[in-house]
Amino acid sequence: MKKENAIEVRNMTKFFKYYSDKAWTLKERLIRGWKKNNNEVHVVLKNINLEIKKGETVALIGVNGSGKSTLLKLMTKIIFPNKGKVETNGKLTSLLELGAGFHPDFTGRENIYFNAAIFGLTRKEIDARIDKIIEFSELGEFIDSPIRTYSSGMYMRLAFSVAINVDADILLIDEILAVGDQHFQDKCFAKLEELAKSDMTIVIVSHSIDPLRKLCNRGIWINNGEVRMDGTFNDVIEEYIKECA
């Protein structure tokens, strides 16, 4: 892996198998034979090759179902490619699904310790920054309530506040910032603008074009599981909008 890169994707293909659970009648069995039910292979990403350099802020663009979220999950190693490889260089944190990494019966405060520990922080390191995490989340007295009582917006507040305080080198975000009130969304994007000016690498999936235009210096358009276009954000989004118009 090149030392200047934060993420490399090489000749990567990802597919999923879907198994039919249709119950065949005896007549169908006799006609088709006694073989097992057929399964269908759905290719989500096809021969993807990407290099994302350290410090870049990149938007993944595409319609729903194009493979953007799957690509982020591959980068986090939640799932793995069927062909090729995905490599990352540096400590990685992600915001992919609401509530991921949280225990519903723990309080917000307890989940901060639990979640931050998953990202590699020691108890002492979490102690040193927990007040900052709680303050940014604006959860107030709710921080000591079980998070099963939280709204989706409160989940997002807690998850984002933890993610930006674990000293990660790479931050991956998938649409989670579309949840919650406008005030906190604006606060999150302002923080992301601050992080984008640092040496952190950010890869974000969002359909909110205007904030991405301010935030991202590069866009990658994923279309039907393939890279349709890779370039400056403004150039990519212009072609994407033309196609979708």
pLDDT in tens, 135-193: 999 999 999 999 999 998 999 999 999 999 998 999 999 987 777 788 998 899 899 99
Range of the domain at 62: 5-244
* The total number of structural domains that make up the chain: 1
Q: Taking 60 as the threshold, does the pLDDT of residue 36 lie above it?
A: no
Q: What is the CATH number of the domain that holds 88?
A: 3.40.50.300
pLDDT of residue 128: 96
pLDDT in tens, 135-147: 999 999 999 999 9
The DSSP annotation for the chain comes to --TTEEEEEEEEEEEEEEE--PPPPHHHHHHH-SPPPPEEEEEEEEEEEEEEETT-EEEEE--TTSSHHHHHHHHHTSS--SEEEEEE-S-EEEE-STTTT--TTSBHHHHHHHHHHHTT--HHHHHHHHHHHHHHHT-GGGGGSBGGG--HHHHHHHHHHHHTTS--SEEEEESGGGSS-HHHHHHHHHHHHHHHTTT-EEEEE-S-HHHHHHH-SEEEEEETTEEEEEE-HHHHHHHHHHHH-
Q: Residue 35 — pLDDT band, cuts 50, 70, 90?
A: low
Average pLDDT over residues 224-244: 94
What tokens does 109 get? 């405060």
pLDDT in tens, 51-100: 999 999 999 999 999 999 999 999 999 899 999 999 999 999 998 876 67
